[in-house]
Structure 1
Amino acid sequence: MKTIERTVSAQPETVWNLWTTPEGIVQWWAPDGFRTDVDSLDLRPGGELVYTMTAEAPEQVAFLEQNGLPLSTPSRKIFTELSPANRIAYRSVIDFVPDHEPYEQLTVVDLQPTAEGTRVVMQVEELHDDVWTERLLAGRANELENLARLVG
């Protein structure tokens, strides 16, 4: 497991709500230049978050089109643990890697109250190789940056 940490200037309850509601997720989940639409959310262990990420910025659209990739990508996460304002754990369905069988990857997020707000500690299970793991870590770090900017 790899760990990414970030302190954000919001209480754990606020961070929880931004992470576990469609209204919250659409505000910060997507990387820069993309939009996230929540298709369905069943917030319970064994429940799923299904969302679609769509490129909107001209440079992202151009990159995807030049590489023959779709502008929108559906994604699924299956919740494994939910402790309000404390812990969110989910398995992401990794079904977008060319020439690789789909598999699941675990992410565990702990929300720890601090004087400044909330310390977000994200433990991320590595993907099938170092290149894809680095891409995943960059994406998760971008998510936390977007979250910090939103609540900052």
Structure 2
Amino acid sequence: MVDAPVLVLAATGGQGRAVTEALLGRGARIRVMVRDPERGAARELAGRGVEVVAGSLSDEDSLVAAMRGVASVFAFTTPFEAGLEAEVGQGRAILSSATRARIGHLVFSSVAGADQDSGVPHFESKARIEADLASGDVPYTVLGPTYFFDNALGG
């Protein structure tokens, strides 16, 4: 599936958008999954040749549909919209969908030190998702950023 697209989840957010831009710069075929394909950011990506599909990180059926026929997936979850348990649910939905769609490789954006029992709630939720990845059968890579410079700029 060398010519198959890369799926970027949450592609209109900060990380997803950065990954999408990097892939576009390398000439990769890209499919993105967004909640609302009619949003300006999604329409702009479509205008640049990116395949845009609608879906939710909590909806396995939409995740599986988005994953069908892709070479790999970039996945990101967040506790900051619906809470820690919702984030773990997103991670589990992504992993289950990747298994069902037989994804060749999943890249999961976590946080540095998630496995260190830090007591930081959003580190602990990422650690739970990482443990699920490790016990599954989907080939994966975990990225562990420490901090995003954009965070220093505020809202």
Higher strand share: 1
Fold match (TM-score > 0.5)? no
TM-score normalized by structure 2? Answer: 0.29
TM-score normalized by structure 1? Answer: 0.29
Q: Which has the higher contact order (CA 8 A, sep 6+)?
A: 1
